[in-house]
Amino acid sequence: MTSKKILVVGELNIDLILNKIQGFPKIGTEIVADSMDFTLGSSSAIMASNISILGVDTTFCGVIGNDNFGDFVLNQLQFKKVDTQFIQRSEKSKTGVTVVMSYDQDRANITYCGAMKDLNKNSIPWSDIQNFHHMHISSYFLQEGIKDDISWIFKKAKESGLSTSLDLQYDPEEKWDFNYKECLPYVDIFLPNEDELLMLTGQENQEVAIGKIKPFSNTIVIKLGKNGSRLINNKSDIKAAPYLNKKYKDAIGAGDSFNAGFIQKFLEGASPEDCLKNGNLMGSLSTTCAGGTTAFSSKEHIEAQIESLLINNNNED
């Protein structure tokens, strides 16, 4: 277990997840979903919740509304031992909500951003920043209040002695207007999935896309879904195979759970190979339950499920 402390800065919302949907929605019609779950959502919160359960001292900085959904978000994070002292309540905006329509291993999301737009660079506890060892930010494109200052935020974190990580997530406007040349030099670990990497660089080939951002990056970690993951920096170019499981529920939060597993091992000083493997393991574990945090109910539950995953994957070899 690491003694290092992580500050997660980002969006907060709840997820309303619909599974076993009978068809695709069309204007003027109605379809039925045979399964529904209501869980803590948002990439940043899922990552924070799960890395906290994995044993990392975790604090969250974000904004919620002064409403029942905000109460739910706070309660869920606190239940997972996340320090919420730097979460603010907005009187003008409601807590964000994402409706997730889950189809097999893919999904369509509709997000009401609400209070997540109110987070800005001054929301970050700079006067306490040296109490932390690492800062993680997710969902850049959903957070209008920090978009223009993202490079400044990471630069200030680095100047304060923190290591850093960033997961852009999807751009709903599909503009992909992230200045990676300016920002990524201050990001120790950049965590896109393959589709996000291709869209960010405007390329159709993974190798070409990597070539475009590598000169400005420290370490790039690409999430490849059923193909595992890959890490590229000036010293290494390595891949790790996925951990397959037979209890698949949905892929919501799998990438965020990968982030939690990877950063956990990174903070422990593990090798790049072990960081990738742990990321893949936690991503696979996430898919065994609905939503991004349900599979991470306790350290004991995680350890039992991991043992089962490892046994099943060894038997597949």
Residue 282, in any domain of the structure: yes
User: Among 315, 317, 313, which Cα is nearest to 245's?
Assistant: 313
Q: At residue 175, what is the residue type?
A: K
Q: What are phi and psi of 96, to 5 degrees?
A: -65, 155
The 10s digit of each residue's pLDDT in 276-287 is: 999 999 999 998
Q: How far is CA 286 from the centre of its chain?
A: 12
The 10s digit of each residue's pLDDT in 211-234 is: 999 999 999 999 999 899 999 999
Residue 134, in any domain of the structure: yes
Residue 169, in any domain of the structure: yes
The 10s digit of each residue's pLDDT in 264-314 is: 999 999 999 999 999 999 999 998 887 888 889 888 888 888 877 776 776
In the chain, how many domains are there?
1
Residue 59, in any domain of the structure: yes
pLDDT band at 169 (very low <50, low <70, confident <90, very high): very high
> What pLDDT is attached to residue 231?
98
Residue 29, in any domain of the structure: no
Q: How far apart are CA 278 and CA 246, in angstroms?
A: 19
Answer left, alpha or beta for residue 87, where phi above 0 means left and psi between -120 and 50 means alpha.
beta
| DSSP state letter for 153 | H
Looking at the chain, the number of H-run helices and the number of E-run strands are 10, 13
Name the strand (E) or helix (H) holding 239: strand 237-240
The angle at the Cα of 113, spanning 70 to 91, to the nearest 5 degrees, equals: 50
Quickly list DSSP for 171-238: -TT------HHHHGGG-SEE--BHHHHHHHHT-SSHHHHHHHHGGG-SEEEEE-GGG-EEEESSS-EE
> What pLDDT is attached to residue 76?
96
> What pLDDT is attached to residue 277?
96
Strands 96-103 vs 13-21: parallel, antiparallel or unpaired: parallel
Q: How far apart are CA 267 and CA 270, in angstroms?
A: 8
Q: How many CB atoms lie within 10 A of CB 15?
A: 25
| DSSP state letter for 124 | S
**Could you tell me the CATH number of the domain that includes residue 173?**
3.40.1190.20
39: containing domain:
5-22+34-316
> What pLDDT is attached to residue 174?
95
Q: How far apart are CA 55 and CA 69, in angstroms?
A: 26
> What pLDDT is attached to residue 246?
77
Residue 77, in any domain of the structure: yes
Q: How many CB atoms lie within 10 A of CB 37?
A: 18
* 3-class DSSP state of 313: helix
Residue 236, in any domain of the structure: yes
pLDDT band at 317 (very low <50, low <70, confident <90, very high): low
